[in-house]
């Protein structure tokens, strides 16, 4: 009986603290939203709907990636809210390190070790960064005007097709018996390297499939780019102007300065926009992008009340 009272008291304290955090976050977000209200009036109803849809799409794909990586033990809806929960934690911690706070929850839900969960998160971040670096190279080419606009579009399309084709060919080569596969086995020893590359577990399932996860990272990056374009379009950004600004803003998010990268991402957005001749529009886009993102991520706080009891 005394132990039950202690557990009840601890649970009360835990939920009280989370409720307080929710109230503080809601107050902060409301102030941010109110301050940006005049700027948001530049958006039509259609613009707002498209922006909301794009944010839902990004995090739906991200939740699918978590579901694939951690298997059937985690439900898709739970993965979705847990991902959003990680994002709102990232928004209020230096260098966005707060997202790592969901590792313990993922380990408990999936039944995997904390080290394995951490390695999967590192894998996700590495793939995402690799995709962004490729986008950065394309953005630099555009900024420096090495080629004409039309040729640039052709190069981007061709590069995308070649990259996608290379992934498919790699998967096919490594999943079939052939000389290349045997050479890799001789060089590295055993089928483990092939299994790890393809993501096959002992029972033949495809969790941690590197090809699938690379494709999902590409989809997330493309969706994020389109979302940023929808944010900036009412302020007369062309698609490729939005592309250039987005790449640098996305990469700057990982710089360990400020809370949730606040100030770093906005400064990057303003600087790149100024280089593109949009010195007035840059600050507006930066503020609206931050406000909308934090408002959306705050829905992740629902995870505590929906799943914490059973997690």
> Is pLDDT at 9 greater than 60 in this prediction?
yes
* % the chain with pLDDT above 90: 10
The answer to which of 78-82, 169-173, 286-290 has the lowest mean pLDDT is 169-173
pLDDT digits (tens, 9 = 90+) for 39-75: 666 778 888 899 999 999 999 999 998 888 887 888 8
* % the chain with pLDDT above 70: 67
Give buried/exposed letters for 201-210 (b at 16+ CB in 10 A, else e): eeeeeebbbb
pLDDT at position 163 is 62
Q: DSSP for the chain?
A: -HHHHHHHHHHHHHHHHHHHHHHHHHHHHHHHHHHTHHHHTTS-HHHHHHHHHHHHHHHHHHHHHHHHHH-TTS-HHHHHHHHHHHHHHHHTSBTTGGGGGGHHHHHHHHT--HHHHHHHHHHHHHHHHHHHHHHHHHHHHHHTT-S-HHHHHHHHHHHHHHHHHHHHHHHHHHHS--HHHHHHHHHH-SSHHHHHHHT--TTS--TT-HHHHHHHHHHHHHHHHHHHHHHHGGGT--HHHHHHHHHHHHHHTTS--SBTTTTHHHHHHHHHHHHTT-TTHHHHHHHHHHHHHHHHHGGGGHHHHHHTTT-
Q: Are 114 and 100 in contact (CB under 8 A)?
A: no
Mean pLDDT in residue range 260-274: 80
Confidence label for 255 from pLDDT (cuts 50, 70 and 90): low
pLDDT digits (tens, 9 = 90+) for 176-217: 666 666 666 666 555 554 555 544 433 444 444 667 777 888
Strand partners, 94: 259
In terms of pLDDT, which residue wins out, 174 or 291?
291
The model's pTM is 0.69
pLDDT at position 230 is 92
In terms of pLDDT, which residue wins out, 216 or 162?
216
């Amino acid at each position: 009986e005394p132990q039950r009272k202690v557990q009840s008291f601890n649970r009360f304290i835990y939920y009280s603290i989370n409720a307080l955090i929710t109230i503080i976050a809601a107050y902060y977000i409301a102030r941010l939203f109110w301050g940006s209200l005049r700027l948001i009036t530049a958006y039509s109803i259609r613009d707002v709907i498209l922006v909301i849809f794009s944010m839902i799409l990004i995090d739906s794909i991200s939740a699918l990636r978590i579901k694939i990586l951690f298997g059937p033990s985690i439900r898709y809806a739970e993965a979705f809210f847990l991902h959003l929960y990680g994002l709102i934690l990232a928004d209020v911690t230096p260098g966005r390190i707060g997202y790592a706070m969901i590792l313990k929850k993922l380990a408990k839900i999936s039944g995997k070790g904390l080290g394995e969960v951490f390695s999967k998160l590192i894998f996700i971040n590495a793939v995402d960064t690799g995709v962004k670096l490729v986008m950065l190279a394309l953005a630099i080419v555009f900024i420096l005007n090495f080629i004409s606009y039309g040729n640039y579009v052709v190069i981007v399309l061709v590069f995308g097709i070649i990259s996608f084709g290379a992934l498919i060919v790699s998967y096919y080569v490594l999943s079939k018996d052939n000389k290349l596969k045997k050479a890799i086995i001789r060089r590295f020893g055993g089928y483990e390297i092939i299994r790890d590359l393809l993501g096959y577990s002992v029972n033949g399932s495809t969790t941690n499939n590197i090809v699938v996860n690379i494709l999902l990272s590409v989809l997330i990056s493309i969706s994020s780019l389109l979302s940023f374009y929808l944010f900036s379009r009412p302020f007369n950004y062309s698609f490729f102007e939005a592309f250039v600004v987005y790449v640098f803003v996305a990469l700057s998010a990982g710089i360990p300065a400020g809370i949730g990268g606040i100030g770093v991402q906005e400064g990057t957005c303003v600087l790149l926009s100024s280089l593109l001749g949009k010195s007035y529009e840059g600050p507006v886009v930066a503020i609206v992008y931050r406000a909308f993102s934090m408002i959306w991520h705050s829905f992740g706080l629902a995870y505590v009340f929906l799943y914490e009891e059973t997690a």
